[in-house]
Structure 1
Amino acid sequence: MIMRAATDALDHLHHDREGGFVLVAALWILIALAGLAGALSVYLVSTAQRLSLDDARLRSAALVSAGLELAAYKLSAVPRPQRAPAGAFSFRLDHAQVSVAFRSEAARIDLNHASRPMLANLFVALGARPEKAGDYAQRIIGWRTAPGDNAPDAERELYRTAGVDYVPRGGHFANSEELQLVLNIPPALVDQAMPFVTVFSGRSEVDALEAPPEVVAALPGMTQDLLKAFLAQRAALRRDARSVSSVLGPARASATLDVGDAFRVRITIDFDAGRRAAAEAVILLGDGDDPYRILSWRDDVSSPAMLREKGRAL
C-alpha cells in the first residue's frame, strides 16, 4: 500500500506543478517508509526462524537427556554380571520418535591400556604395512608412557627433531582424538581407527563377542583362519568363558566377557515435523545419587548442522 501511495503521488505530480515540491518530499518519505517496512519484514522473519531453531535445540537437548536417563536406567536395573553389552530401544515423546542404541566401551581398544601387538594388529587390519604398523603402535606407547627419572627422553627428542611444536603427553590419552597428535601416524589412518578405539574401557582386553571384526582381528594370536571361524560362530556362542575360549584359541588371552561400566550411547531424534537431530555420549554407570556420569559428549544437538531435513545424511 505504501508503494501504491508513492505511485499515486507521482501521478499527481504531473497534474499539480504548484504542489510539486511538497509532493516530492512526501514521495521520499513514502519510499523511506516502504524501505523500513521491508526491513521490518525481514527482521520479523529472521527472528521467527531463530526462535524456531532455538526451540528445536531445546527440545532436542531435553529428548537426548531423556534417552540417556532411560539407557542408564535399563543398564543399571540388572546386576553387572547380567548386564547387556549392547542394545537398542525407542520411545515417543514431544511429537518425536527417539531411537537409542548403546554398546559397552569394552568392544573397543583402549589406547591407554592396549598392548603394542594389539595396536599394531589394528593398524594392519586397517590396511597399514606390518613394519609401519609396529612403528605406529610404538609411538602410541611412547606418547602415553612417562619419561624415566634421570634418563634421556628419546620420545620427546623424536618430536623435537620432527619440528612439531609439542611433545608427547607422557601420560594417559585424555581422549581418542588425541591420537591425531601422535607422531608419524597418517591422518587418514587415524580417521579409520577412530570407530575402534577408546580411552574409557580401562582394560587391555576387549569384548570379542561385541567387538567389530577389525578389533577382533587385532587380538594377539589371531589368524585369518581363526578370525573367519570365530566370526562365523560368534552369533551362536553363549556368553561364557568356556564357549568363547574354545573358539578363540590363542587369542583368548586378550578377550574378556566383562561388560564394564562405560557405555557409548547414540541417540537419534526424528521430529514429526520432519527435522532430525543426533547426539553421542559415553557414560559411566554408578550408584547412589548419581546413577551415571558423562565422560564424553558430542554436543550435536546445539549445532544447526545437526538439525536437517529427515532423510539427509547426518
Structure 2
Amino acid sequence: MQHRRDLSDRPPFAVRNREGFALITVIWGLGLLTLLGATVIVGARYRVRTAQADGSVLASAAAAESAVNFAIASILSSAPNTSFPTRCRMPGGEQADIVVEEEVGKIDLNAASQPILERFFTALAQDKTRGARIAQSIVHFRRPPPRKEAGNQTTASDNRTTQTNAANDAKISSFSSILELDQIDGMSPTLLRSAMRYTTTLSGRPQPIPEAMTPALRLVMGLELGRANRRRPALPGHFTVRAHVRANDGSLYIREALVSIGATSTQSYTIREWRRGDIVGGSMDALRAREPVQACIKF
C-alpha cells in the first residue's frame, strides 16, 4: 500500500514534460540575451574605433592643409633660411613633410616642344610608339582651330574682331588644367596619374629648367640626378605645395595646392586648385624612418 501511495504522489508525465520544456526555453532565452549583449558590445566597440579612425583622418587632413598654408606663409616671409623640402612637427603632434615644386621645372602641356613631350611620355609609358602618339595628340589638342573668313572685304573693326576671336580660340584650344590629359588618345588612368606629378600649364617654357626639376622628373627624362639640395622658391612664380602629414597613430594624409605667388599686384598669392595627393612608392617608409626635429609653428 505504501508503494502505491508513492507512485500516486509523483506528478503526471505531461506536467513533467511542460516543466522540462520551460527550463529549456529559459536556457535558450538566456543564451539569446547573452548573444545579443555580446553583439551590442562588439558593435559599440567597432563604432568607437571607426569614429576614432574618422577623427584621425579629419585631424590629419586639417593638419595637411595647415602645413600647406604654413609653406605659403614661409615663402612669402623674408626669412633667409626658408627652403624646401622641409620636415617639422605640427601643433597637434603630426609629422609634416613639405615639398614645394616650381612649375617652371615641369613639362608644360601648352608650351613644351613635341620632342620633349615624346621623350617624356615614352619614358612614362615604356613604349616609344605610344609616347609619340600621345605627344602628337597633345600638340594637336593645343593647336587653335582654323579661322573662317566671311569674305575678302575687311575693315578695321573686322580686323579687331578677328584678332579677338583668334585669341579666344587659342585660349579655348589650349590646356587649362593638367586633368584635361584624360582627353588625349592613348592616355590610360595609370599613365595619367603618373604624368600629373610632372606636368603643368603655367610655366610657358618649351622645356623645363633643369635646376628646378625634381629628382624624380630628372630620372624620367634620363638626366643626371645630381644633388637634391634644399631650395628657396624664386618669386614671383607658380608652385605646387605638397604636404605629407603622418598622425601619431600612423595614418597618412597628403594634400596639394597649386599656388601662384606674387603673380599679380593685387594679391600676394592665389590658390588655383586644391588636390588630394597620392602616396608615392616609398613615401610611407621614408616618413616612418624620419623624426621631426623642430616645430613648424613656434609660439
Scaled by the length of structure 1, what TM-score is found?
Answer: 0.61
Deviations along 1:194-246, one digit per CA (max 9) or x if unpaired, are: 43212343544532212147867999xxxx9xx66xx76x889xx9xxxxxxx
94, 108, 111: which one aligns with 1:110:
108
Given that 1:201 and 1:262 are in contact with CA atoms closer than 8 Å, whether structure 2 keeps it comes out as: yes
Contact 2:60 2:246 in 1 (8 A): no
Question: Cα gap change, 1:111/1:84 in structure 2, threshold over 3 Å: closer, same or farther?
Answer: farther
| Partner residue in 2 for 1:162 | none
| Structure 1 CA distance for aligned equivalents of residues 141 and 173 of structure 2 | 7
Segments of structure 1 that go 5 or more residues without pairing to the other structure are 1-15, 152-168, 240-256
Partner Cα distance (1:270, 1:214) in 2: 22
Question: Which residues of 2 match residues 62-101 of structure 1 at below 5 A?
Answer: 62-78=62-78, 86-101=84-99
Distance in 1 between residues matched to 2:49 and 2:87, nearest whole Å: 32
Equivalences for 1:51-200 in 2 at 5 Å? 51-78=51-78, 86-123=84-121, 128-129=127-128, 133-150=131-148, 171-184=173-186, 193-200=195-202
**Aligned partners of 1:289 and 1:174: how far apart in 2?**
21
Residue aligned with 2:98, SS: strand
Q: How does 1:1-12 map to 2 (within 5 A)?
A: none
Of 236, 244, 266, 1:268 maps to 244
In 1, Cα distance between equivalents of 2:220 and 2:188: 19
Task: Tell me if structure 2 keeps the 8 A contact 1:120–1:136.
Answer: yes
Q: CA deviation at 1:106?
A: 1.4
In structure 2, the residue matched to 1:210 is: 212
Deviations 1:141-194, CA, capped at 9 Å, x for gaps: 21223422349xxxxxxxxxxxxxxxxx96233432432431145777656544
Distance 2:66 2:273 in 1: 17
Partners of 1:141 and 1:83 in 2: how far apart?
Answer: 41
Amino acid in the other structure paired with 1:298:
R
The equivalent residue for 1:28 is 28
1:295 aligns with 2:295: no
SS for the counterpart of 2:257 is strand
2:256 matched to 1:280? Answer: yes
User: Which residue of structure 1 aligns with residue 156 of structure 2?
Assistant: none
Partner Cα distance (2:25, 2:228) in 1: 84
The whole-number CA distance in structure 2 between the counterparts of 1:213 and 1:271 is: 27
Q: Partner residue of 2:7? A: none
Offset at residue 70 of structure 1 (A): 0.8
SS at match of 1:209: helix
Distance apart, 1:140 and its partner CA: 0.3
Q: SS of 2:92's equivalent?
A: coil
Alpha-carbon distance in structure 2 between the residues aligned to 1:264 and 1:99: 14
Contact 1:83 1:259 in 2 (8 A): no
- Distance in 2, Cα, partners of 1:132 & 1:55: 44
Change (3 A) 1:292 1:36: same
Distance (Å, rounded) in 2 between the aligned partners of 1:46 and 1:37:
14
Does the 8 Å CA contact 2:246/2:252 hold for their aligned counterparts?
yes
- Mapped to 2, the partners of 1:73 and 1:25 lie a distance apart of 71
TM-score, normalised to structure 2, is 0.63
Contact 1:107/1:211, CA 8 A, preserved across alignment:
yes
In structure 1, what is the Cα distance between the partners aligned to 2:99 and 2:200? 17
Which one is further off, 196-205 or 62-71?
196-205
Task: Name the CA distance, whole Å, in 2 between partners of 1:63 and 1:213.
Answer: 26
Where in structure 2 are there 5+ consecutive unaligned residues? 1-15, 150-170, 290-299
**Rg larger for:** 2
Q: Percent identity?
A: 24
Q: Is the 8 A contact 1:207 1:258 kept in 2?
A: no
Structure 1 match to 2:293: none
For 1:282 and 1:204, locate their aligned partners in 2 and report how far apart those are by CA, in whole Å. Answer: 20
The one-letter code of the counterpart of 1:209 is: E
Q: Which one has more relative contact order, counting CA pairs under 8 Å at least 6 apart?
A: 2
| Secondary structure of the structure 1 residue equivalent to 2:203 | coil
**Which amino acid is 1:120 matched to?**
E
SS at match of 2:197: helix
